[in-house]
Amino acid sequence: MEVVILGSGSPLPDPNRAGPSTLVRTAIGDLLFDCGRGVLMRAAAAQSGAGAFTGLFITHLHSDHITDFNDVYTSRWVMSFAPNPLAVYGPVGTARLVALTEEMLEPDIGYRLEHHEDLTWRPSATVVEIESGVALDTEAVQVLAQPTAHAPVHPTVGFRVQEGDSSVVIAGDTIPCEGLDTLCAGADVLVHTVLRRDLIEAIGIPRLLDTIDYHSDVADAARTATRGGVKKLVLTHLVPAPAPEAEHEWLEQAAAHFDGEIVIARDLTAVAV
């Protein structure tokens, strides 16, 4: 497998970092985890695209993780030459997200159906809402889900992709919790969203301070990786996003709690599994 961080950013717009989104390339095709700002631009850079996703997995319904769902949904529809339903997996509430998005897109759907003679079907999705257990089960690849802890956002899930002996965990936004520990046990790679508690406290803006209590900081993520015996930790969704020359601070903070390999993600950072 290969993990490609499509977007390493957060809700804060950044010229160099798209919104949260991770691509996992597997034997059954490209699996997309979350679909934040600019996801299809970065997918294009990774030679993937809306029509190619075998599945879209949503960790939670915070806007930064789903801003471009409408783009994925519409682009897949318009750029496929036969009905090509999008397989969507996510927490309870995902089906409503899909339905409301489709309702929002109703004018566009009408324009395109009217204009393109060969386009005779509407966009569509199959939705699996999952709290824990097996989300996707094929012979070659399994995707498991467990609840995570991001209150008051609820429900939220993390995912583990298993292909043979290789495994990748996508934590999403969460504080350390039992569900994430279950997913991480013995995993090769953990992709974890993080913030820097020290920097956010120094900035001191209340709206930003509020984010500390429902995210893992760098040390939290590193300790989760250690508890799970994970081989490689990929830190993404970096708040506040570091300039390249400051990335070593994040590395050092993580290395104080984790002995394995640590990667500070940028957009299109790729990690072999």
Q: Which spans of this chain sit near Zn ion (rule: CB under 5 A)?
A: 62, 64, 173
Between CA 148 and CA 176 the distance in angstroms is: 8
CB of 184 to Zn ion, least distance (A): 19
Query: Would you say 52 and 19 are in contact if contact means Cβ atoms under 8 Å apart?
Result: no
Rounded to 10°, the helix 247-255/218-228 angle is 40
Tokens of 39: 């996801």
Peptide bond into 155 cis (omega under 30): yes
Between CA 187 and CA 166 the distance in angstroms is: 7
CB of 158 to Zn ion, least distance (A): 12
Give whichever of 119 and 241 is closer to Zn ion, judged by the CB atom.
241
CA 168 to chain centroid = 12
Between CA 27 and CA 67 the distance in angstroms is: 28
Query: Would you say 189 and 176 are in contact if contact means Cβ atoms under 8 Å apart?
Result: no
CB of 125 to Zn ion, least distance (A): 22
CB of 235 to Zn ion, least distance (A): 13
Give whichever of 154 and 231 is closer to Zn ion, judged by the CB atom.
154
Give whichever of 58 and 109 is closer to Zn ion, judged by the CB atom.
58
Give whichever of 64 and 217 is closer to Zn ion, judged by the CB atom.
64
Which DSSP helix (H) or strand (E) runs through 129?
A: strand 125-129
Query: Would you say 68 and 36 are in contact if contact means Cβ atoms under 8 Å apart?
Result: yes
Catalytic positions are 64
